Amino acid sequence: MPTTAPPVTVRLLPPAEHARLLTAPGPYQGMSAPPDPEHARVVVVETDDGRIVGSWTLHDTVHAEPLYLSEAIRGSAAIGRALLEAVLEQLAVHGVQAAFVLIDPENTEVLGMAERLGFERLPGIPFALRLPGG
C-alpha cells in the first residue's frame, strides 16, 4: 500500500543558506563547515515549513585520465614525480579541490602507486550519467 508523500519543494540552495545543512538531518549534520559554494552546488528537498528533508550535492571535481607513459620511461620515479607535480600545480591553479581516477582493480602495480601518491580508495562502485550533448 503506497504512502502519500508530503508536499515538498525541490530547489537549488543558495550559498547564503549552505550553513543550514549543518543542522539538517543528513551527511553534513554536525560538520564544522558546509560545502564550499565555490566548488559545490546543493539541491535540497524542503517541506512546506522549510525543513530540509533531502539533498544532493554536486561537487566540482576532475576525472584525471588517461595516464600514459611510454615503456621507455615507465618505472622512472623522477619522471612520474615531475608529471604528478605538474598536474597538482594545474589543479591548484584552477582551484580544484578533488580529482579522481579509475584503476583496473587487477592492476596491483598501479593501485600501489596511486596509494603511495596519496590517492584514497573510495567506497562504492563508480557510475556515470551521460548527459545529452556530452
Q: Are residues 77 and 106 in the same domain?
A: yes
Question: Residue 20 has what pLDDT?
Answer: 96
Cα separation, 30 vs 21, whole angstroms: 9
For residue 1, tell me if it sits in a domain: no
- From first to last of its 134 residues, the chain has per-residue pLDDT tens of 677 777 999 999 999 999 999 999 999 999 999 999 988 999 999 999 999 999 999 998 888 988 888 999 988 888 988 998 999 899 999 888 888 899 998 989 888 888 888 889 988 988 888 888 86
Domain of 70, in residue numbers = 62-116
For residue 104, tell me if it sits in a domain: yes
Q: Is 97 in contact with 36 (CB distance < 8 Å)?
A: yes
Tally the domains of the chain: 2
Cα separation, 36 vs 18, whole angstroms: 8
For residue 35, tell me if it sits in a domain: yes
